[in-house]
Structure 1
């Protein structure tokens, strides 16, 4: 199945914008948007295309952040190795939790993932090497591949862009592969997919691990962006935030989670002076979006244009 022309145009336009964005936007803000866009797209792979609602994705995002930060600060590894270790730990964690969680369905599946995420949170709070409530601070950005200095935010931005955009393209390929088509079939009618001979639980576990791995890549990268891994990354509210991003942008769309992540991060960044009212504003926007855009902002846009987004 060929790639739709409008998707190529969107990806190309997005890439051009992101390459030029540091000229007029703060690089750290852009890196945060990229990390959360990858996180939201990874979550949407599980929910929007696998039909599995997880309330525990902060476990992989935050767990990878801690591993990446520890590897860079304590073990002195280079950024690419630190991020790979964080991503690998998220994949392993996703495999263990997913193998147990997929035995349940619906709300029970969601509650199991939340329970495991809370276990990860309390581990991060109590373990001696995680820094407790202080987290892991002052994480160094060592030389990339031992050759390139990325201590400058702008230089590091293009490395983050490479990871995030590469992750987005990988997710796109997964969605539009035969594997992705089977996932959609399971989402729409699991008993029928089972009757056709598909090992449904294997597909569920595979998409769960893929989603956890990509969420881990986002978290591991974010730890080096902010040079910090904290309890916020593994808190249950982070799992809720990524659900909000996916729903706001559009669950069953490729580009919706990117839009949702950009909106939420922009609100948090530019409305920070409102303090706790930011949460109220987020809730208000979410309610309005759900009432006016039932398929999400990008989903409704695609419906208007009569093109899959």
Structure 2
């Protein structure tokens, strides 16, 4: 994956757009919130929850990829690691699921600290391969830890405890609305990260690391911080996914999960945040429709869609639409 294949929006473009039309940002946020609130009325609630989880996961990766310029093929370790911790906390402690999810996210951040510290010493394809290697180590540990993780059987019957409110604990429709504030909070936190001074420094490191280092910024520390924050948001998404499905399997820590979130992020448009949401909606809905129709080559179709988007829409679906609209207004 190179910057020539997919083009993230620059900070200048984004800042100029917001400065010219700040009302559009609020209109877009309001429209997104309306869509999120009405989604389980339109599609099957568990699928709506999957879209929300994968959207947050893609946004988490976009902080690292779109704004930090670091392509990670190991984020399944944080998504899946959090899912296992969340499942274990929910099973053993019986706490309400928001607390179990928070514990999973914190565990993902703790795991990301040494991984990020060792990984950021490399860049480009070398960084991607190092993160993939660490993720495969996590997969091996989870697979071998049968007494704790369930091994190949995973964790079964993960409870959806929510302060004794039966409707949320037994009905996926109400669970969606109980979990949605966590997703929204995660998305808001991601927005704050990239629009803070930290986010601007991160973009400057992406664009020209030697110059940022010459200005006095500790490049490696910024990259590690971005890596840990990205892992925490990925863990938040993974924990919710585990609670929503009621089980955790080895698939959550498999390398294909890392590949899927990269596909979603690039499909929507890297360096946009909204692109992750759009990409998740496209891929998860497409997978659900194909699976419902009995089609077995789901991966072939999603792969073909990805190839078409990379070849024809170098900024991704959301990034291209936004770029074209901006050009028409000039």
Tell me how far 1:147 sits from its aligned partner: 4.7
Question: Mean alpha-carbon deviation: is it higher for 32-41 or for 78-87?
Answer: 78-87
* Aligned counterpart, 1:168: 187
CA distance in 2, matches of 1:140, 1:298: 36
* Aligned counterpart, 2:302: 282
Tell me how far 1:268 sits from its aligned partner: 1.2
CA distance in 2, matches of 1:276, 1:95: 39
Superposed, which structure 2 residues align to 1:55-204 within 5 Å?
Answer: 55-127=73-145, 128-142=147-161, 144=162, 146-149=163-166, 150-151=168-169, 152-204=171-223
Alignment gaps of 5+ in structure 1:
none
CA distance in 2, matches of 1:178, 1:213: 20
Tell me how far 1:82 sits from its aligned partner: 0.7
Tell me how far 1:124 sits from its aligned partner: 1.0
What is the CA deviation profile of residues 257-293 of structure 1, one whole-angstrom value per residue up to 9, with x for unaligned ones? 1111111111111101444411110111111111110
1:220 pairs with 2:239: yes
What is the CA deviation profile of residues 1-29 of structure 1, one whole-angstrom value per residue up to 9, with x for unaligned ones? 87832221111111112112222321111
What is the CA deviation profile of residues 116-156 of structure 1, one whole-angstrom value per residue up to 9, with x for unaligned ones? 000101111110211111110111111x2x35332121221
* Aligned counterpart, 1:258: 277
CA distance in 2, matches of 1:132, 1:275: 29
CA distance in 2, matches of 1:297, 1:22: 23
Tell me how far 1:73 sits from its aligned partner: 1.3
- The question of whether the paired residues in 2 share the 8 Å contact of 1:34 and 1:160 is answered with no
Tell me how far 1:113 sits from its aligned partner: 0.5
CA distance in 1, matches of 2:178, 2:25: 24
Give the TM-score normalised by structure 1: 0.95
- The question of whether the paired residues in 2 share the 8 Å contact of 1:101 and 1:109 is answered with yes
State the superposition RMSD in angstroms: 1.4
- The question of whether the paired residues in 2 share the 8 Å contact of 1:65 and 1:219 is answered with yes
Partner of 1:251: helix, strand, or coil? coil
Alignment gaps of 5+ in structure 2:
1-14
CA distance in 1, matches of 2:120, 2:160: 37
Alignment: residue pair count: 305
Tell me how far 1:84 sits from its aligned partner: 1.1
Q: Which runs of 4+ in 1 moved over 6 A?
A: none
1:296 pairs with one of 316, 321, 328: 316
2:61 pairs with one of 19, 39, 43: 43
What is the CA deviation profile of residues 160-193 of structure 1, one whole-angstrom value per residue up to 9, with x for unaligned ones? 2111111111111111111111011000000001
- The question of whether the paired residues in 2 share the 8 Å contact of 1:63 and 1:90 is answered with yes
Give the TM-score normalised by structure 2: 0.89
